[in-house]
Amino acid sequence: MTSITFYGGVDEVGGNKILIEDEDSRILLDFGMSFTLRYQYYSIPFLSPKDENDLLEFGILPRLRGAYRFECDEPAIDAVFLSHSHLDHSAYISFLKREIPIYCGETTATILRTYSEVHLPSLEFNIEGLRFNTFRTGDKVRIGSIEVEPIHVDHSVPGSYGFIIHTTSGTIIYTGDFRRHGSKPELTDDFISRSSQIRPEALICESTNMASVEISSEQEVMEKINDVVSRTSGLVMANFSWADIDRLRSFYEAAEKNERSLVITPKQAHLLNQLSGDPHLNVPKIDELLIFRREKKRYYDWEKEIMDSAETIDSHEISERQSEIILVCSFYDLTELTEIRPDAGSCYILSASEPFNEEMEMDFNRLINWLEHYGLPQFHIHVSGHITPLHLR
C-alpha cells in the first residue's frame, strides 16, 4: 500500500514537505522552509527561534519520526528528492540526519553549496555533512520499492525538476515548481510529454499562480528592460533574485545593447563561477561583467578570491559613471545610495515578485521611501516562475 502525507505546501506558497510511503520505503519530496508559518511567529533577526524545539512547537518544523539529526531515533527516511534549490523547497534539509541521502540535480547541489559558502551557518540553513547524489534527465533512481524518474522543467532558477514516482500501487507525478513562459519552455514540454504517457494514480501539482491572469514571458521581460534602459540617461538599478540566471542574462543583454556595463554582487559572481562549467546554462562570463566592491573592514576568503579574479568597481566609481552602468542593487544595498547619489534621470527596476506577506510589505515600504528620497522612478518588470492557468489547462 502507498500513502502520501503532506507536511507543508498546502494552502501556502512553498514550504513543500511531502512524504511518500510504499511498503517499507519512505522518501520525501522536497523539505522546504514555510515562510507563511515562520513569519507568523518570528521576525528575523530581531525575534528568532532559539533552537529546533521552537520550530517544532509551532509546527514550522513537522514532527516526523526518524528524520532529524537532533533526535536520537534511528533514521526512518530512506531519501530526499529536491525539485530545485529555492529555500521554500530545500532549506530544512539542514535539520535532517546526515545518514539520509539527498537526491537533486547537479545545478541544485551547486547552488545550495554556493549559498552555504556565501552565508554564515544558521539554525535554519546548515548543509555541512549532507550527502548530495546528483541526477540528470534520463536517470532513474531506485529507493527500495520506489523508483523516481527526474525530468527537467523550466523555473526561475536553473536545475529544476519534476518527478515521476513509480510505486507498487501505481505512479505519482510531482511537478515541483514549473512554467511554460520562461526562457526554456521546451524543458517543461519534455516533462509534460513524458507525463502524458502515464495514467497516474495521483498528480501533485503546484498552484501558486492560479489566481493570475498575467500572460507574459521572459522574452517580453527582456524587451521591457531594454526599453527602460534605452530611455534612461542616468544610473539604472536592478533588483532580482541572486540565483535567477534567466533574469541576470536579460539584464546582461540589455546592458550590451545600450553600451552599459552590468555590475553584479560578489555573491552572484561566485555563483556564476561555480555554474560556468555547465554548457547547458549559458551563463555570462565573469570577465564580461563588473563586480560591486563594497567598502568593508574585512572581506571573506571567497570574496577576496572572486574580486581578485575579475574587474571590480566601488560606489565612488559608479557615481562618476552612472550613464554607463546597470547596478544590481538589492534591498540590503540601498545604503550605498548615500555614496552613489543617483543623478536626475536615474531609475530603479524591481524585477522580482511583489510582497506577499506583512514582513515583505514593510521592507517594500522602506524601499519606496528610499526611492522617493532620491526622486527615483520605479518600474516593476517581472514574470513569475510559476505556471499560469492558461498553460496548465
The ranges assigned to domains in the chain are 2-204, 218-380
CATH of the structural domain 2-204, one choice from 3.20.20.70, 3.60.15.10, 3.40.50.10330, 1.10.3430.10: 3.60.15.10
Could you tell me the CA-to-CA distances from 86 to 69, 90, 242, 341 in Å, in that order?
22, 6, 11, 33
The Cα 247–Cα 326 span in angstroms is 13
pLDDT score, position 14: 83
Task: Match 529536491 to its residue by C-alpha cell.
Answer: 82
Single-letter amino acid code for the residue at 377: P
User: Does position 211 have pLDDT exceeding 70, yes or no?
Assistant: no
pTM given for the model: 0.94
CA 239 from chain centre, in angstroms, equals 14
The pLDDT, as a whole number, for residue 214 is 65
Q: What is the mean pLDDT of the chain?
A: 93
What's the confidence (pLDDT) of residue 39? 87
Q: What local confidence, expressed as pLDDT, does residue 332 receive?
A: 86
pLDDT value of position 357: 65
**Average pLDDT in the 333-361 region?**
87
pLDDT at 210 > cutoff 70: no
Query: Degrees (nearest 5) of the Cα angle 191, 197, 201?
Result: 95
Band (pLDDT 50/70/90 cuts) for residue 29 is very high
Q: What is the pLDDT of residue 393?
A: 66
Res. 167: pLDDT tops 80: yes
Average pLDDT over residues 142-149: 99
Tell me: pLDDT of 362 over 80.
no
Whether 31 has a pLDDT exceeding 90, the answer reads: yes
Average pLDDT over residues 91-102: 98
pLDDT tier at 361, thresholds 50, 70, 90:
confident
pLDDT at 355: 60
Helix (H) / strand (E) element for 292: namely strand 290-292
Q: What pLDDT score does 330 carry?
A: 87
Integer angstrom CA distances of residue 204 from 10, 20, 185, 265? 11, 12, 20, 36
Q: Which CATH architecture has domain 218-380?
A: 3-Layer(aba) Sandwich (3.40)
Name 379's Cβ contacts closer than 8 Å, sequence gap at least 6: 224, 228, 347, 348, 349, 350
CA distances for 105 relative to 152, 160, 171, angstroms:
9, 7, 21
